[in-house]
Structure 1
Amino acid sequence: MAEQAEAAPAADPLDVLVVGAGISGIGAAWHLKTQCPGKTFAVFEALDGIGGTWKIHTYPGIRSDSDLYTFGYRFKPWTGPPIATADQILAYMNAVIAENGLAPYLHFRHRILQASWSSRDRLWRVRVDSPDGERTVHARFLWMCQGYYDLSKGHTPDWPGFADFAGMVIHPQDWPADADIDGRRVVVIGSGATAATLVPAIADRCAHVTMLQRSPTYFVTGRNANDLADELRRLEIDESWIHEIIRRKVLRDQADFTRRAEAEPEAVKKELLMGVRAYLGRDFDIATHFTPRYRPWQQRIAFIPDGDLFRCVAAGKASVVTDTIERFEPQGIRLASGDRLEADTVVTATGFNLRFLGDIPFDIDGEPVAWNERLTYRGMMVEDVPNMLFVFGYFRASWTLRVDLLGDFVARLLRHMDDIGAAEIRPEPPAEMAATERLPWIDAENFNPGYMMRGQDRLPRRGRQPDWQHNQDYWTEKDEIPAIDLDGPGLVYRDAEGRVLGKDAAAA
């Protein structure tokens, strides 16, 4: 099992230090081993095993809200149902590790305390809290793969009277192993994918479960199966072919749906609500409880496999209440409407807190880096931060699609640096951009879930030029990122002595 690797990295300095052993970090390790076989690297993970979010989240029913043909890696065929449980995803990741000999590169309980760049040495000096105590590791390149939210604590609003509630309060991100909800009256606060997953997963155990939402979310329903994949398997087609065919079909369908959501939002809205109506019938108040105030795809659309949430509601095992909380009381929640929800247990499925690069302190030659003041180069490298790339995936497509794209890019970049004798690369925007407006990471008109709006000030900035923003468009980036001119504008290389290389040498 991958969880057994604890040996110290063999090289110092490492060519590459990967931070995080979730879906991004394991993908990064595969790309380094297969595309840069001469490079030394290690993967440091603060937890005691792989998985990241899939390890942390243990609430009932935990599952993906993306299909695994695209959430899975391009190089590892997915053979299970399109929507997978956390255990299935972890098993898939462990298979990737075992099949590719990645375990020796993984180092658990290695929490990064600080990362400091030395322009004199052209190295990152990384302080690490490890099982053997605090130590320092040096690396030529950092590949940051921690995801984008705080795994240590979920977001819980400060409601009036919250401390007065006499029952049990649980955040899904910190679900107790001994949580007893059998026969209890449970209120799940939230309307997103987590709430929609939890409600049907616990409905048969509770006396009753109520999903309390401030405003509705769009959902899409369907069978948790892929008919084309099943037919290709019946025809005994090779699994690698099936994976590629279904992956392309899913991506094409997603691209078409995204374009339709922008071009004809009312038609898409009608189709989504018809899918809900098919389960709940004509008498259910869909206008109040399942009709969002925003257009489709301004926030993530969660997939409800086999309509399980709606079937629970239709059967009377679960209720949906759309209202705001006035205050908590010892035995429940008083709503703004004056109604009262009685509860023995409250589950706060109210989202998460954004973090950038795990809130690790970074400095360059002793000067702290303020991420929220800097632009990013294509949402993967940060202005004037040397030899560092981070993974930030897609909101409207599977996160892992960008892991594979950036894995190819990093491998190509490292080989290019070797070819030209570069010890350092820094993204540097053109001089004329210095005085231009630095915009939030993402346009609220484009994508505006609560966690993003709450946390914009923790993220880097974007510019108006395409090279200086993460456009969240996989269907464009899948062609653009492989075609990036590594000697093009915005990327400045230096040798071990600090001399500028290539096209920028004369200007320097």
Structure 2
Amino acid sequence: MADQHFDVVIVGAGLSGIGAGYHLQTNCPDRTYAILEGREAIGGTWDLFRYPGIRSDSDMYTLGYAFKPWTQAKAIADGPSILNYVRETARENGIDRHIRFGHHVKSAAWSSADSAWTVEATHDGAPVRFTCNFLFLCGGYYNYENGYTPDFPGAASFKGALVHPQKWPADLDHAGKRVVVIGSGATAVTLVPEMARTAAHVTMLQRSPTYVVSRPAEDKMANDLRKWLPAKLAYAIVRWRNVVFGMYFYNATRKNPARAKERIVGMVRQALGPDYDVEKHFTPSYNPWDQRLCLVPDADLFEALKTGTASVTTDHIETFTETGIRLQSGEELPADIIVTATGLELKALNGLELSVDGQRVDPARAMSYKGMMYRDVPNLASSFGYTNASWTLKCDLTCEYVCRLLNHMKKTGTTQCTARNSDPTITEEPWLDFSSGYVQRAMEKFPKQGSRAPWKLHQNYALDLMNLKYAKVDDGVMVFTKPSRVAERKAA
């Protein structure tokens, strides 16, 4: 089995991986790269999830790439439109020619003596191996194999269809059916109004409420600007407007959570009217941004509730029955279809087994540097987005920083960049400070962040812009070296 060598190996051909390919060939045009994708298609999340109404809960002026304007009318876009946008980006820039589909990456081993990673994968059931000087993990943190479904009592007795949104059956027909959607997060608030268009009735069953905000699906200012300005300029203006407003909204919410809660709940009350029990169904016990807020475009969820095609029940499940769900209150919800929109499973480091010079890297003991690299792990970065803003904002900055590292090593004749912590006063903190169930279930297995920069994970685009795009890469924490064996081999 001959090794195939590339300067950079990217894992994942979704939104992040395609962006990484663009930045590499733009900013480091002399580097070779390959994208290893476990599935047979470009798109990642946007190709995997096929449930009715799938869409973004971020606007496309910030979820879109900085280098490719979003020109469609809808700012809150549907999944197929986003998938087409990602694939179009790959095709227009020749990134698709670098993708190796059906390559499931299993492990990667770093050799300091060789300044190289050996990446083990499988393709068509057979092992394949690559070597690279830099490994870029762009597969996000979701487990693509399975979503999270609790062990519901009596689930096996239910005679109808029981489905998880992550594995939506292509032939599932919900027209005229009674549907119960278990959950109150982004997936649930997307599914309910969409399925209610043709279902007999859809019930959103939640244990507790979530903050839900509405905004127009179309951005009038953006659509107007495109009539008068070049697409790139109009896109940049709206992108920055949305970035600034998002940071302002988040900071104001965290500074005065009681006021923010009152305002958000008040908008729901205004949308649903005085007779609706907003206190029970849409007033969470936690503060805004302790969990991610749910976005509904054009108030579609509220419209479905007002027309009676959908309803919300806040209660706990006692057991599934043959014909539906019995609640602890004694109420029974009849159902032909039950959708378990109960969350996702998270994977640290794309689920890879990593080792450095023969020593296994334990993700739970790693510390994140600038939210993308890891203490004592050379030449490896992960691309993650924000929890309080669009995913791609951080990914674009991460890609630019990785390119800066690669170019700095070329300029200085070094081959390794490793984040080292020599400050004993820096303490460990959870990687994400979110109370959401899917986060809490996984955090003990994830890397930590530090109590101070550059180990602190900022959820702030302006700070990251300064730290990743403009600050020195040779900051005294990122250590650049060239092992003697590499130097001797190159000299020979």
Normalised TM-score (structure 1) = 0.93
**Residues 1:117 and 2:110 aligned together:** yes
Which of residues 433, 447, 458 in structure 2 aligns to 1:460? 447
Shift of 1:16: 0.3
Q: 1:498 to 1:467 in 2, by over 3 A?
A: farther
Q: 1:324·1:336 contact (CA, 8 Å) conserved in 2?
A: yes
Q: 1:354·1:458 contact (CA, 8 Å) conserved in 2?
A: no
Cα distance in 2 for partners of 1:367, 1:351 equals: 33
**Residues 1:439 and 2:429 aligned together:** yes
Q: 1:20·1:46 contact (CA, 8 Å) conserved in 2?
A: yes
Worse-matched range after superposition: 134-143 or 422-431: 422-431
Which of residues 291, 297, 300 in structure 2 aligns to 1:299? 291
Cα distance in 2 for partners of 1:437, 1:35 equals: 35
Cα distance in 2 for partners of 1:249, 1:305 equals: 19
Q: 1:274-313, aligned counterparts within 5 Å?
A: 274-313=266-305
Shift of 1:499: 9.6
Shift of 1:484: 3.0
Q: 1:12-27, aligned counterparts within 5 Å?
A: 12-27=4-19
Q: 1:34 to 1:499 in 2, by over 3 A?
A: closer
Q: 1:128-147, aligned counterparts within 5 Å?
A: 128-131=121-124, 133-147=126-140
SS at match of 1:432: coil
Percentage identity across paired residues of the two chains: 43
Paired residues, number: 486
Match of 1:94, as an amino acid? Answer: R
Shift of 1:498: 6.7
Q: 2:420·2:477 contact (CA, 8 Å) conserved in 1?
A: yes
Cα distance in 2 for partners of 1:475, 1:219 equals: 26
Match of 2:490 in 1: none
Match of 2:18, as an amino acid? Answer: I
Q: 2:114·2:485 contact (CA, 8 Å) conserved in 1?
A: no
Q: 2:114·2:486 contact (CA, 8 Å) conserved in 1?
A: no
Cα distance in 1 for partners of 2:33, 2:471 equals: 24
Cα distance in 1 for partners of 2:50, 2:423 equals: 48
Match of 2:470 in 1: 483
Cα distance in 2 for partners of 1:252, 1:364 equals: 40
Cα distance in 2 for partners of 1:347, 1:132 equals: 33
Q: 1:431 to 1:268 in 2, by over 3 A?
A: closer
Q: 2:367·2:374 contact (CA, 8 Å) conserved in 1?
A: yes
> What RMSD, in angstroms, separates the aligned Cα atoms of the two structures?
1.8
**Residues 1:164 and 2:157 aligned together:** yes
Match of 2:365 in 1: 373
Shift of 1:470: 1.4
**Residues 1:383 and 2:375 aligned together:** yes
Which of residues 437, 452, 455 in structure 2 aligns to 1:450? 437
SS at match of 2:442: helix
SS at match of 2:188: helix
Match of 1:336 in 2: 328
Which of residues 297, 307, 312 in structure 2 aligns to 1:320? 312
Task: Spell out, residue by residue over 1:34-59, the C-alpha distance to the aligned partner (whole angstroms, 9 max, x if none).
Answer: 00000010111001011111011000
Q: 1:376·1:461 contact (CA, 8 Å) conserved in 2?
A: yes
Q: 2:7·2:134 contact (CA, 8 Å) conserved in 1?
A: yes
Shift of 1:292: 0.8
Task: Spell out, residue by residue over 1:388-444, the C-alpha distance to the aligned partner (whole angstroms, 9 max, x if none).
Answer: 0001110011010011101111111101001111111111111525xx64222133x
**Residues 1:154 and 2:147 aligned together:** yes
Q: 1:220·1:272 contact (CA, 8 Å) conserved in 2?
A: yes
SS at match of 1:396: coil
Worse-matched range after superposition: 490-499 or 38-47: 490-499
Shift of 1:132: 8.2
SS at match of 2:260: helix
Q: 1:441·1:456 contact (CA, 8 Å) conserved in 2?
A: yes
Match of 2:75 in 1: 82
Match of 1:265 in 2: 257
Task: Spell out, residue by residue over 1:120-144, the C-alpha distance to the aligned partner (whole angstroms, 9 max, x if none).
Answer: 2111111121248321111010000
Cα distance in 2 for partners of 1:12, 1:344 equals: 51
Shift of 1:182: 2.1
Cα distance in 1 for partners of 2:270, 2:431 equals: 38
Q: 1:362·1:369 contact (CA, 8 Å) conserved in 2?
A: yes
Match of 2:414 in 1: 422
Q: 1:181-330, aligned counterparts within 5 Å?
A: 181-234=174-227, 236-330=228-322
Which of residues 407, 410, 414 in structure 1 aligns to 2:402? 410
Match of 2:6, as an amino acid? Answer: L
Question: After TM superposition, what 4+ stretches of structure 1 lie above 3 angstroms from structure 2?
Answer: none
Cα distance in 2 for partners of 1:457, 1:134 equals: 31
Match of 2:390 in 1: 398
Cα distance in 1 for partners of 2:428, 2:239 equals: 36
Gaps of 5+ in 1: 1-8, 501-508
**Residues 1:108 and 2:81 aligned together:** no
Q: 1:498 to 1:278 in 2, by over 3 A?
A: farther
Task: Spell out, residue by residue over 1:164-191, the C-alpha distance to the aligned partner (whole angstroms, 9 max, x if none).
Answer: 2222100000000011222221100000
Cα distance in 2 for partners of 1:458, 1:469 equals: 18
Cα distance in 2 for partners of 1:153, 1:132 equals: 20
